[in-house]
Chains A and B, each alone.
Chain A
Amino acid sequence: MNSRRRVHLGAVMAAGAAVLLLILLWSVIDRPARAAAGNAEDYASPLELLFSPDGTRLYVLCNQSNEVRVLDAASYSLIKTVAVGRAPRGFSLSPDGTRLFVTNSWDDTLSIIDTQTLAVVATWPVGAEPSSVVEDRGGTRLFVANRISGDVAVLAAQTGEEEKRLLAGRGASYITPSPDGSKLYVTHVYPNPHAHTTQQGNRLTPESEITVIDTARAVVVERIPLPRIAGVFHTAFSADGRLGVVAEVHPKNLVPLAHVEHGWALANTLTVFGADVGRPVEVPLDELERYASNPFDVVIAPDKSHIYVTHGGSEIVTVVDVQRLLHFIHTHPGSFAQDLSASANYVVARIPVGHNPRGAALTRDGSKLFVANRLEDTISVIDTRANRVASTITLEGPKTLSAVRRGEQTFYTARYSFQGHYGCASCHIDSTFDGLTWDLEPDGFGRDIVDNRNLEDIKDTEPYKWNGGNPNIPMECGPRTEKYFWRSENYDNLTLAALSTYVRSLPARPNRWRQASGELTAAQERGKAIFERGKDKFGNPIAVANRCSYCHSGPKGTSQKSFDVGTLKATDHASPLDTPQLTNIVLAPPYLHDGSARTLEEIWTVFNPNDKHGRTNDLTKDELNDLIEYLRTR
């Protein structure tokens, strides 16, 4: 073995053992210490910001403390804290400013806050994982983007009664009204499924869209395609409505991830559209040696002079000069999305802020930009004339960082990857997944294509990786990540232990298909029987090892063992595959190790011709639907 490439297995194992010991210690020590250090729910975690119409109040949506904090916009003092539902993700004011709507993404509810009394006056049930809400100008309808169902619910603004649903993109999350309120622009965080399976199978360019809704008619009037994009976040418009901007991620999941330099893994871009632009144009924000990881919120100055973009991974705000941007676009027809030197023509500042900056809000005169640093419980106040942080507002909360919190900061930052290209959260959006399959380098180019697995409730489902090659999370997040993902020096063992603690702490999102009583519906019962059956429909016994419930056993639906279920491709190295857990499996298509199945049904109808992945070929369409209904409850 060449000494320069020698893997010091002993050192790696020793480091792994040390990290595991730290995690174990934390699991014991951290619990009583949480009163001082803070539970996740104790941290405010400001996610979104809003100014009141008169500019005197700043509303802060606190994602982990489940609150809206109302600050005096001049003194930054706390006026009131309003408790809302679990994991609030989006909020907006009614056009007259009298009501504040909050989507509680884990309760599937909408909190309505009276802005005079600052009290919740109603809580309405809405769709699955509501993520943002907008009221129309007339105050007659509310539009709520539901991440899980990928649609926009249209509700009566005074009663909350649902009128209809409008199909949006997969993972519909953010709604932005046009300045005149006549249209709504809806973005989504996971790429849309492809309509057909092609010769390239699962290796197709991801696609997303901006769903445009006519507010008055409550119908979808346009779907602006966002080709090559996966992960679309906030949109903003200039006051004159002629310029629209959306923050997005442009993955490079189809080329082997052999190295990181030169924008090899992801591009962080904006798509600009509207009358000022003509056809939508994708513009990169990255540079040759410096990246603008995880663009999230976009704000346009009232005078349309600048665009401000928050970057949760790079922990910066980029400032784009609008005139220079438009000039560049008009003088460079065609695509320049791959040009890492393009941003020099329009990005005029990169302002460092706090951990995981997300929502941003400009004062009415545009002189100050407020940026919510979600994992720091602070708000950076940027002087937009000087393009620097003028002051920082500290929100009330724990003064020390728990191991979980430190781990979460590590998860969301891009500082550890080569040149700060990306972080864990770049591909595990909001600590879940990205809906993409990737070609990782160590297995060979074009070989062992892997679906990016969901991280929810991942604790105690080891081993990790589709080939089961990593025995624990520290190994998964440590040496492997350093070598093949970051391509740069990793964190120290203490940071790795904190990261592992955070990843192990990730809960499952609430299951929307289980009944409160715990009982199964008739269809779910039928599906459960199929899942557990020992005989097929013809009375033939099904071998124990070929029953769904054998491999997908245990509380999380995994035996934690590997099997060959007949899904390996010619480009896969022959090896059994780790049995994935079933937690919220219905939320995370595509399926199978290489993401070749677009739906659960395709697992059995397309990719299980020989019943190696359980006996399923005797089942009718209705029976497969029953099986899916049962899997929804896992």
Chain B
Amino acid sequence: MTPWGRVLAAVVPVAVVLLVCGFGAETASIPDAPIIVTAAPVYEPLAALRGEERFPKGAQLLMVQAGKAQPLVPDFAVTADANISFDAKTVLFAGKKIAGDPWQVWELTLADRSVRKVIASTGDAIRPLYLPGNRLVYAQRTGHRFQLTAAGLDGADAHPLSYMQAGALPADVLADGRILFEAAFPLGAELSRNPARGVTPELYLVYSDGSGVESYRCDHGSARWGGHQLSSGDVVFTHGASLARFTSPLATEQRITAPRGDYAGAIAETISGAWLLSVRSAPSAPYALKLWMPGSAALQTILMQDRQNLVEPALLVPRLTPKRHPSALHEWSYANLLALDARESREGTLKITPARVRLETLDAAGHPVALGTAPVEADGSFFVQTPADKPIRFVLLDQKGATLRQEHGWFWVCSGEQRICVGCHAGPEHAPENRVPAVLLRSTAPVDLTGNRQPIAQGGH
């Protein structure tokens, strides 16, 4: 047994506390199902987005059942990030068998407690999540950043899903099959310990083939991370140190009125609809595992440990398998992108119709590089062929070539992806108008802005 295991084996059983803070009618009942939680002396939830260590003093997965907590994988030096399979028979986790190893992705079979390595790489691989179709998504360190990566559960066919010069971490797989992930806003920006003004952690979505990346909502500005989807379809996340949610009817986040405390990371939902949360009473205190029935006034302590943060709870129960995304990517090395009306934006509709749009990418040093321009039609539409699998952004230009507006961040389109946007940052609540974009009446061939040849289209509206 590792030193960590010995410590935990000795400490955990006696440290389990089932404090009940009020047994009102609305109080949640303690879940019967086992809970898996990560215990760590130090927890820096946003460190991984900066390419740093979330658990600089180690971490260990605990199985909490019937008032007792036991190490889930005692032979490992460090474990974290438990994700329960849809049938609740296996658990994906990130772990280091020996303390000096990089984080790798492993799978524990609960029936016989056997463990197998799923992802073996020279760099860290963390935050694994089951995808439908016997696949998983995880964060793979490339350089000093993490990128979203998908692979088969046999570890084969690993390929990146994100293409940024900044970090991205999967948070959850939604019922509709999309991957919820954390990254900085503006997308592609670096999240530092002292982030630049306006740079905040944010939640994004991407299909499991890497296509369709977008913000979950466009009311940016708040630090949002640790998202988890409830059975209702709402996504609950940490907003700063409090809780908030995205809900289908609303284009903006909805604050959650919960008992006072600092909340961190993802929650888990019990069958009765209560939430398992990581909460601490003060910044100096460790996060404890608590249960809360939304709407009630009290938190119920499930587990608290001296000098241990208990985070990322997961309930060991079967759950619905998300829908598999049937990839419709074409066999191309590039992508096509059609904008219906570049003037449209949540920041206000441009009064002037842009004359042209410039596509930019980033070079290896992170400097913007212009790939060319394409005309914008009088109705604001443009249709371009873009390089795939690399950061890109659009800049709208007037007749004289001056910048009218440019995207705040960088996004990507996948090889073979055909994407349409209502406008530039129009927001997910903005559905398209039913009209043929003027650019398609001019030509159904996109202007080539892949950088492989000179743009041929001239003019503009």
Contact = CB atoms under 8 A, between A and B. Distances in A.
Contact of A5 (B249, B324, B416): B416
B135 to A, nearest CB: 10
A419 interface: yes
Given A4-B209, A445-B383, A262 B327 contact: no
A261 interface: yes
Interface stretch (B25-33, B271-279, B301-309, B425-433): B425-433
Contact of A2 (B331, B433, B444): B331
B434 interface: yes
A564 interface: no
A385 to B, nearest CB: 21
B143 interface: no
Contacts of B415: 2
Contacts of A206: 434
B338 A490 contact: no
Interface string B217-232: 0000000000000000
A487 interface: yes
A137 interface: no
A290 interface: yes
Contacts of B248: 287-290
A442 interface: yes
Interface in B42-82: none
B132 interface: yes
A29 to B, nearest CB: 31
Contacts of A254: 434-436
A201 to B, nearest CB: 10
A255 B436 contact: yes
Contact of A343 (B249, B325, B326): B249
B419 interface: yes
A439 B134 CA distance: 33
A619 B157 CA distance: 63
Nearest to B383: A445
Contact of B132 (A200, A445, A489): A489
Contacts of B437: 255
A253 B249 contact: no
Interface string A252-292: 11111011011110010000000000000000101111100
Contacts of B441: 200, 446
A290 to B, nearest CB: 4
Nearest to A251: B434
B177 interface: yes
Interface in A422-447: 439, 441-442, 444-447
Given A4-B327, A263-B431, A340-B430, A347 B132 contact: no
A543 to B, nearest CB: 33
B327 A5 contact: yes
A338 interface: yes
A254 to B, nearest CB: 5
A205 interface: yes
A340 B431 contact: yes
A259 B419 contact: yes
B434 A489 contact: no
Interface residues of B, number: 46
Interface of B is mostly: loop
Given A445-B336, A482-B326, A347 B418 contact: no
Contact of A489 (B209, B249, B325, B431): B325
Interface in A215-259: 228, 250-256, 258-259
Contacts, number: 150
Contacts of A250: 434
B429 A341 contact: yes
B428 A288 contact: yes
B157 A4 contact: yes
A591 interface: no
B328 A1 contact: no
A188 B55 CA distance: 64
Nearest to B217: A288
A338 B428 CA distance: 11
A250 to B, nearest CB: 7
A550 interface: no
Nearest to A338: B431
Contact of A338 (B159, B338, B419, B433): B433
A484 interface: yes
Interface string B148-178: 0010000001010000000000000000110
B116 interface: no
Given A4-B159, A340-B251, A445-B336, A256 B429 contact: no
A259 B248 CA distance: 18
A5 B331 contact: yes
A339 B428 contact: no
A540 B327 CA distance: 54
A447 B422 CA distance: 19
Contacts of A284: 431
A630 interface: no
A446 B428 contact: no
Given A200-B441, A250-B434, A338-B431, A441 B251 contact: no
B209 A255 contact: no
Interface in B324-378: 324-331, 336, 338, 340
A48 to B, nearest CB: 30
A343 B250 CA distance: 9
Q: Which 4 A-B pairs have the closest CB atoms?
A: A263-B431, A446-B440, A344-B249, A341-B251
Interface of B: 132, 150, 157, 159, 176-177, 209, 212, 233, 248-251, 323-331, 336, 338, 340, 383, 415-416, 418-420, 422, 428-437, 440-441, 444, 446
12 contacts: A2-B416, A3-B157, A4-B329, A5-B330, A251-B434, A254-B436, A255-B437, A256-B420, A256-B440, A262-B422, A286-B431, A487-B325
Interface of A: 1-5, 200, 203, 205-206, 228, 250-256, 258-259, 261-264, 267, 284, 286-290, 338-341, 343-344, 347, 418-419, 439, 441-442, 444-447, 479, 482-484, 486-490, 571
Given A261-B428, A262-B432, 16 more contacts: A4-B150, A4-B327, A200-B441, A205-B434, A255-B437, A256-B440, A258-B418, A261-B212, A267-B431, A288-B251, A289-B176, A338-B430, A338-B432, A445-B418, A446-B444, A482-B326
